[in-house]
Amino acid sequence: MEQETDKTMPIIENPQTTNCQCFALTGRNIVLKADGSPITFADLTEIKSLDNNADLFEEQEFGICALSFETTEHLPDRFITKTIRQYFNESDEPTIFRVSRAKAVANWRQSTQFCCTCGTKLTESKQFTARECPQCGKIHFPRIEPCVIVLVSRGDKILLARHVQRNQDIYACIAGFIEGGETPEHAVERELQEEIGIKVKNISYRGSQSWPFPDQLMLGYTAEYESGEIKLQKDEIADAGWFSRDNCPASPQPGSIAYKLIHGLI
């Protein structure tokens, strides 16, 4: 399918003026003013001057001007940081979209600097939110990695698991990437079979969430237990069990689709 030229505006690096909503992003955090006033373009340029590796860009179509930077070591005291997940829980849908978009594009810009076909340094597209190869002409667009996340019920109990790669003792839903050729429903069945060893039925789509850590689109599902006993895939799952909703172990906080699934909000 061809890209529609009237739908996408190019990224403008280092804009001099902007009417966009401004965001300063560092790792999984967003930078805010301690007094609660909005971040301005002047704030972005000030913070940029403190970090030689900072990346400032603008995407006019979506009303975004964003700065992505690495360290908060020299950040002035009038700024504070908050996790993007917490910020999601406190913001309206248009702002959540813009932050998700800004974070995803920032991640892509950092990781996509050379052509994967010929290795040439990429340049900014003047037409799209993309980077172009001046050597072979290949256009590189931001990528989205579709994932499934599923809450399984067995009577009045729900399945929660502690994942090996988490740095906290959080119990959450089973999730995984959709493989080539799969539907999301197939991915739900496969992930549960691989990681937990059970089969499910009545798989039902519940909602979605952009999760730009770095570039996931989470598709949320519920399913009902059908058969099998818990058998952990040890390199992925540290522990799993059936829990009552009113007596769950430490689980994801507000701001994520996992929280909404676990607490029956979608």
pLDDT digit string, tens, across residues 14-26: 555 557 899 999 9
pLDDT digit string, tens, across residues 103-148: 999 999 999 999 999 999 999 998 899 999 999 999 999 999 999 9
Q: How confident is the model at residue 4 (pLDDT cuts 50, 70, 90)?
A: very low
What pLDDT does 251 receive? 87
Q: Is 107 helix (H, G, I), strand (E, B) or coil?
A: helix
- CA 92, 259, 166, 70: dihedral to nearest 10 degrees? 0
Q: Is there a contact between 152 and 225 (Cβ–Cβ < 8 Å)?
A: yes
The CATH superfamily of 145-262 is: Nucleoside Triphosphate Pyrophosphohydrolase (3.90.79.10)
Distances (CA, A) of 13 to 4, 33, 128, 165: 22, 23, 13, 35
Residues present in the chain in total? 266
Q: What are the DSSP calls for 37-96, one per residue? A: PPP-HHHHHHHHTT-TT-EEEEEGGGTEEEEE-S--TT--TTEEEEEHHHHHHHS-HHHH
Instruction: State how beta strands 21-26 and 64-68 pair.
Output: parallel
What pLDDT does 229 receive? 96
pLDDT digit string, tens, across residues 215-264: 999 999 999 999 999 999 999 999 999 999 888 898 888 889 999 999 99
Q: For residue 5, count other CB atoms closer than 10 A to its CB.
A: 8
Sketch the domain layout of the chain as residue ranges. 11-111, 145-262
The mean pLDDT of 151-174, rounded to a whole number, is 92
What pLDDT does 44 receive? 95
pTM reported for the whole predicted model: 0.87
Mean pLDDT of the chain: 91
Q: How far is it, in rounded angstroms, from Cα 172 to Cα 193?
A: 17
Rg of the chain in Å (alpha carbons): 21
- CA 238, 243, 249, 253: dihedral to nearest 10 degrees? 100
What pLDDT does 1 receive? 40
pLDDT digit string, tens, across residues 78-99: 999 999 999 999 999 999 999 9
